Amino acid sequence: MQNFQPTFASCGVDEKRFRPRDIRVAVAPTRTTEEFRISDPRTNDRIRVPEVRLVGPNGEQVGVVRIEAALRLAQEADLDLVEVAPNSKPPVVKIMDYGKFKYETAQKAKEARRNQANTVLKEVRFRLKIEAHDYTTKLKRAEGFLQAGDKVKAMILFRGREQSRPEQGVRLLRKFAEDVAEFGTVESNPTIDGRNMVMVVAPHKNKSEVKTEQNAQRAANKEAARQARTSDETAPDAPATAAAE
């Protein structure tokens, strides 16, 4: 009996379903040893211009030189050549430690974000017929807000027939502005807002300036305390009392 060789057709199977498929292997994209962002300045071999205006590592003006000479000087100093003014003709480059420069720039930006603060609009409300001690209390609160670098929205609440006497509200707000003039100035004059009258006073110093001064004062206090402790530790012992006879 002859050997029977079965085929796909004889078995009633579609041959296309069993054709081997292409094997696709996912290959991870290669990464360069150093990645550059578009915002980063060009450095070293990435500076592709024939001539540059060179600034030395200490800020000295070297002048216009060939890019090859500038790269050689940077390599001899074991530093980087960084393009600091690409739109100049020729571009201005400087020899520096680029890694250190990026770190210091990031630290400055971080410090600026930490010191940044948003001005807040604080509100102080008055009645048209306000007692003297109530006015003094609200005035102190407003002064505290302004000293902290916040704006103050002074509002007079009119009741009943008081709405027919807006000039009294203007006089009260002007008096308030004069009393806080040491800490702030009027940003918007008294205006009618529905049944109320409002005026905004802005501080002389913004929030960031106030915070910077507070940080400086805190640092000065710490330094004074440290010096006081050091002087106490190094001071000679008090002379012993005379021995008893």
Cβ count within 10 A of residue 172: 21
pLDDT of residue 239: 52
The range of the structural domain enclosing residue 172 comes to: 121-203
Domain CATH for 64? 3.10.20.80
Q: For the chain, which ranges sit under pLDDT 50?
A: 1, 18, 22-23, 25, 27-36, 238, 240-245
Q: Which residues pair with 175 in a beta bridge?
A: none
| Domain assignment present for 149 | yes
Asked if 128 and 82 sit in the same domain, the reply is no
Number of domains in the chain: 2
Tell me the C-alpha distance between 80 and 82, whole Å: 6
